[in-house]
Amino acid sequence: MEKTRIGIVGTGWRAEFFIRDAQMLPELFEIVGIAYHSEAGKEKAEQWGYPVFASPEELVNETKPDYVIVSVTRKGGAARMITEKLAEMGMPVLMETPPADTLEDLIDFYKKCGKAKIQVAEQYQFQPMIAARIEVAQSGQLGNVYQTQFNLPNGYHSISVHRKALGVGMALPKVWGTQYEHTRMNAPGRAGDPEEEEMINVKQTVFHLDYGDKQAFNDLEGDQCRAWIRKSHYNIRGDRGEVYDDDVYYMEEYLTPVHYHLERMTTGADTNLEGSFLRGVRGQEGWVYLNPFMPARMFDDEIAVATCMVKMAEYVQGGESFYSLAEAMQDRYLALLTVQSAKEGRVIQAEKQIWMEEE
């Protein structure tokens, strides 16, 4: 792949993932400029050493990127307004997150931008171990996959992985959600390790998507993805086998059970001198997932975000969609229903929306 010229709108914590990936993969990406929206953002962007611009329009007009990453908050409509303007200019956009917090705003945005060249950087499907589990689920080894049980960050992240593992596409489920509040020892945050022991209040969010013949269950406790005393769980069940965390069990035929382990293959331990990076994930007969960016020293979410960046470059050149605006709208819509269900204490039937008309 030729080097892709990328513009970035935003200077926050999530924007740094895209910047780090570009810096670790200079043969693939060139950041041509960063647009800021505050003086603090300007100072931060200048420290990175890239050209800075006071507006997305100025960034595009001055640098002519192949696509622009919009990595700003969706609160107050910022992400929507910026993306709408870029779409009017004919600029392909990779949105860091789905753009709205209400169904009305989702519908309005899709009416304006549904035909534009937009993808959303939903990276969880590309995290190495999750990608390996989805690959097994789609391989046929498990037979008809009918149930998923995960501890994934709630909202569109978890729903996107459930949908892909179940293979339900844009089907409309019945949605149930609830929340509980507990006290738990604190965990590391975006700023780093806790400075002292503290018991904090955390919300446990549980939801169920019922597709009739298939079901998705998700259970997440606050910042569980950072908590050392909470372990993630992945269970994908089919009528011939299941994925249980890092293990796969299935029936080759009715008298022959098979078991194998999904093994992360990393370098740099003990006397290995290759460096520290992930080679991939091995399964029964070889690689289930192979890291496309080795030997770059990247953790799983950085690998996943870089995968979105590469797939966006391919999409701009006429390649396939990898997480369309319609998919992002659907997952965000279902996430909103889980919150509504928890508040109202009732099961809600998802209804067909405008973005499903062409799916």
Stronger pLDDT, 186 or 121, i.e. the higher one:
121
pLDDT in tens, 163-199: 999 999 999 999 999 999 999 998 888 888 998 999 9
| 39 burial via Cβ count (<10 Å: 0-12, 13-18, 19+) | exposed
Q: Is the pLDDT of residue 262 over 90?
A: yes
Of the chain, the end-to-end C-alpha distance in Å amounts to 29
Strand order in the sheet with 174-185: 256-261, 247-253, 241-244, 234-238, 145-150, 215-221, 199-210, 174-185, 348-349
pLDDT in tens, 142-152: 999 999 999 99
The structural domains of the chain, ordered by start, are 4-97+314-322 (3.40.50.720), 125-291 (3.30.360)
Beta-strand relationship, 247-253 and 256-261: antiparallel
Looking at the chain, the whole-number percentage of residues with pLDDT higher than 70 is 99
pLDDT in tens, 50-107: 999 999 999 999 999 999 999 998 888 899 999 999 999 999 999 999 988 999 999 9
Tokens of 186: 């604190």
Considering only 44-58, 121-135, 161-175, 331-345, which range has the smallest mean pLDDT? Answer: 44-58
The pTM for the full model equals 0.95
- Average pLDDT of the chain to the nearest whole number: 95
Tokens of 182: 């507990």
Q: Nearest 5 degrees, angle CA 24-CA 28-CA 34?
A: 75
Nearest to 296 by CA among 288, 305, 287: 305
Judge whether 157 and 151 are in contact, CB under 8 Å: no
